[in-house]
């Protein structure tokens, strides 16, 4: 096979993985900003919300860039379907992250709650594992190590489910229906973001099983 063609394939593979890494890093920036949002909502809520919105917009651009590359490339480092599932799942985590801060502003929420901060921190931890797993994909000979990150993401999602069920039960013990609706929507969006992280973990696990060397 032509050496120049092999060189092109390697270069193209690195570029695709590089864009995935860029997307995962952008997600961590957004989830980090969400934790800041929860901590400093009363002081800097609107400015941090705008920051998260900008990161979500950047994420959309990265996702579009990756799909464009996939449409133009016939040889990819992973199965194109796996890359598509992976980038779509990461994008959905980012959308939900932005959806949390957006609902705060839209609903004119007065203050954050400890469970919201706790869920946001779990989301950050899960997104950091997503980022670590994407960085390991570059070296497929160690694909089995991806399972470690996948397992941690699922653990964070399970912790979030426990918090979510408890806080929703407590919420319905209050007697302000409007606040119940508003807060329930925010908790659901946070929980949905963790669920989407679990979707990423599923794809990562599939990749590990497909490309692992035993």
Q: Which residue has the tokens 């599939």?
A: 206
At 188-207, the pLDDT tens digits run 999 999 999 999 999 988 88
31 near 123, Cβ under 8 Å?
A: yes
pLDDT < 50 positions in the chain: 1-11, 214
Q: Which one-letter DSSP state was computed for residue 125? A: H
| Residue 147, burial from CB neighbour count under 10 angstroms (0-12, 13-18, 19+) | middle
Angle of CA points 85, 91, 97, to nearest 5°: 140
Residue-range domains of the chain with CATH: 3-211 (1.20.58.220)
At 127-158, the pLDDT tens digits run 999 999 998 887 765 566 788 899 999 999 99
pLDDT at 16: 83
pLDDT at 141: 56
pLDDT at 80: 81
Q: Which residues of 19-48 are buried (b: 16+ CB within 10 A; e: fewer)?
A: bbebbbebbbbbbbbbbbbbeebeeebeeb
Q: State both tokens at 15.
A: 């570029």
pLDDT at 72: 76
* Sequence-ordered list of residues with C-beta below 8 angstroms from that of 119, at least 6 positions apart, any chain: 160, 163, 164, 187, 190, 191, 194
Q: State both tokens at 185.
A: 């929507």
């Amino acid at each position: 096979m032509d050496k120049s063609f092999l060189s092109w394939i390697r270069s193209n593979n690195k570029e695709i993985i590089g864009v995935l890494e860029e997307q995962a890093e952008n997600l961590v920036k957004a989830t980090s900003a969400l934790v800041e949002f929860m901590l400093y909502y009363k002081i800097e809520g609107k400015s941090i919300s705008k920051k998260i919105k900008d990161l979500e917009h950047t994420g959309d651009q990265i996702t579009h860039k990756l799909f464009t590359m996939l449409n133009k490339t016939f040889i990819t480092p992973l199965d194109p379907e796996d890359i598509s599932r992976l980038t779509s799942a990461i994008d959905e985590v980012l959308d939900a992250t932005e959806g949390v801060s957006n609902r705060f502003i839209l609903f004119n929420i007065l203050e954050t709650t400890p469970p919201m901060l706790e869920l946001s921190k779990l989301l950050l931890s899960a997104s950091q594992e997503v980022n670590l797993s994407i960085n390991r994909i570059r070296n497929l000979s160690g694909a089995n190590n991806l399972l470690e990150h996948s397992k941690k993401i699922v653990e964070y999602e399970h912790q979030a489910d426990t918090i979510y069920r408890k806080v929703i039960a407590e919420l319905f013990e209050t007697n302000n229906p409007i606040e119940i609706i508003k807060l329930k929507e925010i908790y659901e969006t946070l929980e949905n973001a963790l669920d989407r992280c679990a979707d990423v973990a599923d794809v990562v696990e599939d990749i590990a099983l497909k490309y692992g060397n035993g």
